[in-house]
Structure 1
Amino acid sequence: MTNIPLYGTTHPTQTDAAREQAPKRSLLELTQEELADYVKSLGQPAYRARQIWDWIYKRYAADFASMTNLPAALRTRLEAEATVSPLTPIAEVVSADGNTQKVLFQLPDGQSIEAVLMLYERRRTLCISSQAGCGMGCTFCATAQGGLARNLTAGEIVAQVLYFARYLATPHAPPAMEVERPTHVTNIVLMGMGEPMHNYKNVWTALRRLTDPEAFGLGARHITLSTVGLIPMIDRMAEEGLQIGLAVSLHAPNDEIRSQLVPINRRYPVAELLAAVQRYIEKTHRRVTFEYALMRGINDAPELALELAQKLKPLLCHVNVIPLNPIPDSPYQPTSDAETRRFVQILNENGVPATVRLRRGIEINAGCGQLRRAMAA
């Protein structure tokens, strides 16, 4: 994998006690073949592996005790030496309108990550994390302020989806939200903590598990991966053959502003990034989304909207204009509703499709990294 410079500080927090304790085997890290080998090592027939696999990925079992078609002795042994999920929820908040739920999870080594469930009229969308922290250093992002601790494993990425799939499938499970259950996950966006392209191997292992009909089985077109613009990885993604959506966090139409907001732009400037997106479109024939978080007095001027339109018009794309979820005491604050509408109007009038993303969960720190930051304060 191409070496990517990190912006920010790495802060490992694993304790001596955690290192000394023998970790349980996480079954979410295993392929079907590896799970079969593990079950065989326990002296069990091959079909037991298929039963366990179905309990995890089709029935969203939270523990081995619920796997009632397994022998009691096997369930006891699995409970002693393995785990279904590496995540422990440590904080949970629901928005006042009941449409957004955010959960802060602790990982086995003490690190923490966030994931968000957002309810729309027909969609049940998850925003999941790919890293504990982030090394890209975007100046307006709460996650970036803590630096990068480590990459998530493929199993830790998948576990976030299974947690909420279990919640949606279980009638009356707390917390209460404005959703009639049972229902199911319809969409996934990798727009939570971390830069997915900086954890490429584990992210794509997780994506193949999530789209595999034999596993979670969500259609690839219902998943979107967001990147700040790691060009080598965009080119690599174009060769994957899986119809995962690509979103690029642009936030400015030129290098002067973007380099201040997104430091990786100094290595991969706007012109080169847009050329990579064009290559991606030519290879995949898929529309790309550009994310543009509007910040008052920084990137929201009408002339910047016009400049953005001129640069994006040749591309098969859509602009997702995002009202910023502000960090307290930050110089980056959201643009007014009127200025937001004007920005979008300029894009549309100049041939670039653009819409405003519905802001969700502002009062519950639903922006990337905000709940984690608040809990650490």
Structure 2
Amino acid sequence: MTKGTFHQLSSEKIATKYGQLQQLLHAENEPKFRFTQIAQAIFKQKIHQFENMTVLPKRLREKIVEQFGSSILGIKPVAQTSSPQADKVLFELSGGDKVETVAMKYRAGWESFCISSQSGCGFGCRFCATGTIGLKRNLTADEITDQILYFTLKNRSLDSISFMGMGEALANPHTFTAIRTLTEPELFGLSQRRLTVSTIGIIPGIQKLTRQFPQIHLTFSLHSPFDDQRSELMPINKKYPLADVLEVLDEHVKMTGRKVYIAYVLLPGVNDSPDHAKKLISILRKRMDLKQLYHLNLIRYNPALGVADDYKRPEEHDIRSFYQQIKQAGFKATIRQSFGVEIDAACGQLYGQYEANKRFSDN
């Protein structure tokens, strides 16, 4: 049998374990189909232990284990909370840092996964539990995709994936490598349209996403239409002011033809007044020619561990009132379904509880 030759791998691809596996196979003068066998063992047969990939020669399995360890999965679950519609898992990374991932089950039968891109976050949004942790570090591309691999190996259906967990996805350059891995046909094989990236408004990252992954869904976290208040709630607004971000989003919409979702967490007595709704409507009216490509998602705030008591969960009638003002003005809006309040599904909650329990047990 003629052995194939591997294509030259880019430095970006070699940065992932899948690229490094290909590099090892090439160094061992293995045929090209060996990587296909490994990929099929992982993603079709759900085998994560290399020694159990019996389609590979024993010598090769031993070589892979020697270089990569026993499992393709490089993160370890250390805590989990569950409800009928959501599972939240805390993973430990190499070096001991931790991140959270949430798996959500919709009544229609499909599953969505909310993954983290950083351990902690350095942007300090006032109402966010992850912001109270501070930034520990960026995740590698493998650590990002391993969150999805964990559920893949459990034969869960990857209907949609959102970069909405711990951290700011567009502040981590490895996010783009992770997206390439998730959309690689021989690996996870996901369409760009099944991925959503959420951002607080990192302009260079939005522009890069527009160029490299134009079909990915983009969500912009707004949370206040008033510049002064937004800067107070979200300090990033001082570096990337709201008007500048909106201009870049307009360009994204024009270039890609893809809808932008505006996330708005309702904070009672903070950003849910009629004046806030009117200002939000005025922002949307300024882009009437793009009206069909902006969609407002109203989100119930989940009280978060370590965050000021000023921020409460909104009452349903207040949510409905705010929603009706937007709808009556003729704009698209949705009250997003709430998952896992009983399991503290807000980002950073499980992390904070785990660390608190650990400190208590250590004492």
**TM-score interval, normalised by the smaller of the two chains:** 0.7 to 0.9
Give the equivalent residue in structure 1 for 2:148. 161
Identity of paired residues, percent? 40
State the TM-score, normalized to the length of structure 1. 0.84
Q: Write out aligned runs for 1:243-262 (5 A).
A: 243-262=215-234
1:140 alignment partner AA: F
- Which residue identity is paired with 2:81? V
Correspondence 1:236 to 2:213:
no
Separation of aligned partners in 1, 2:159 and 2:183: 12
Residue in 2 that maps onto 1:348: 327
Q: Contact between 1:252 and 1:258, CA under 8 Å: does it hold in 2?
A: yes
Q: From 27, 30, 40, give the equivalent of 2:17.
A: 30
Q: Match of 1:184, as an amino acid?
A: S
Residue 93 of structure 1 aligns with an amino acid whose one-letter code is T
SS of structure 2 residue aligned to 1:135: coil
Match of 1:146 in 2: 133
Q: Show the counterpart of 1:66.
A: 52
Aligned to 1:132: 119
Q: Quote the Cα distance in structure 1 between the aligned partners of 2:345 and 2:45.
A: 28
Listed as ranges, the gaps of 5+ residues in structure 1 are 1-26, 170-182
1:299-310 counterparts in 2 under 5 A? 299-310=271-282
Q: What does 1:306-317 align with in structure 2 at a 5 Å threshold?
A: 306-313=278-285, 314=287, 315=290, 316-317=293-294
- Whole-Å separation in 2 of the counterparts to 1:303 and 1:242: 34
Change (3 A) 1:102 1:351: same
Equivalent in the alignment of 1:53: 39
Deviation at 1:327, TM superposition (A): 1.3
Picking from 100, 122, 137, the partner of 2:109 is: 122
Q: Determine if the alignment matches structure 1 residue 89 to structure 2 residue 77.
A: yes
> Residue type matched to 2:250 in 1?
Q
State the alpha-carbon separation in 1 of the partners of residues 270 and 133 from structure 2.
23
1:235 is paired with a residue of what secondary structure? helix
Name the SS of the counterpart of 1:148 in structure 2.
Answer: coil
SS of corresponding position for 1:62: coil
Whether the aligned pair in 2 keeps the contact of 1:28 and 1:159 (CA below 8 Å) is no
1:75 to 61, 66, 77: 61
Letter in 1 for 2:147: Q
CA distance in 2, matches of 1:289, 1:300: 18
Aligned to 1:239, the other structure's residue is in SS state helix
**Structure 1 residue 227: Cα displacement:** 0.2
The answer to whether residue 157 in structure 2 is matched with residue 184 in structure 1 is: yes
Tell me how far 1:281 sits from its aligned partner.
0.8
Does the 8 A contact of 2:50 with 2:61 survive in 1? Answer: yes
Q: Deviations over 1:335-364 (max 9, x none)?
A: 111000111111111122111111111111
Shift of 1:73: 3.5
Distance 1:62 1:240 in 2: 30
Q: Deviations over 1:222-244 (max 9, x none)?
A: 11000000112212221114411
Distance (whole Å) between structure 2 residues aligned to residue 63 and residue 298 of structure 1: 50
Instruction: Tell me the residue number matched to 1:14.
Output: none
Verify the 8 A CA contact 1:309 1:351 in the aligned structure 2. Answer: no
8 Å Cα contact 2:192/2:213 also seen in 1: no
What CA RMSD, in Å, does the superposition of the two structures yield over aligned residues? 1.9
CA distance in 1, matches of 2:52, 2:226: 54
Query: Which letter does structure 1 place at the counterpart of 2:299?
Result: I
Question: Are the structure 2 counterparts of residues 267 and 337 from structure 1 closer, same or farther at C-alpha, using a change threshold of 3 Å?
Answer: same
Give the Cα–Cα distance (whole angstroms) in 2 for the partners of residues 149 and 274 of structure 1. 29
- Residue 320 in structure 1 maps to residue 297 in structure 2: yes
Structure 2: how far apart are the matches of 1:349 and 1:165?
42
Contact 1:294-1:322 within 8 A present in 2 as well: yes
Report the equivalent of 2:267.
295
Aligned to 2:9: none
Whole-angstrom CA distance in 1 between matches of 2:299 and 2:226: 18
Which amino acid in the other structure matches residue 350 of structure 2?
L
Structure 2 spans left out of the alignment, 5+ residues:
1-13, 357-363
Cα distance between partner residues in 2 of 1:250 and 1:317: 13
Paired AA for residue 139 in structure 2: L
AA matched with 1:366: A
Could you tell me how far 1:306 is from its partner in structure 2? 1.5
User: 2:235, 2:349 → 1: CA distance?
Assistant: 20
Structure with the bigger percentage of helix: 2
**What is the deviation of 1:305?**
0.9
Contact 1:306 1:350 in 2 (8 A): no
For residues 276 and 242 of structure 1, do their structure 2 counterparts lie closer, same or farther at Cα, with a shift above 3 Å needed? closer
CA distance in 2, matches of 1:49, 1:337: 52
Distance in 1 separating the partners of 2:256 and 2:31: 43
Question: Does residue 94 of structure 2 align to residue 108 of structure 1?
Answer: yes
Distance 1:373 1:61 in 2: 32
The alpha-carbon deviation at position 67 of structure 1 amounts to 1.3
Secondary structure of the corresponding residue to residue 51 of structure 2: coil
Q: Secondary structure at the match of 1:247?
A: strand
Letter in 1 for 2:159: T
With normalisation by structure 2, the TM-score equals 0.87
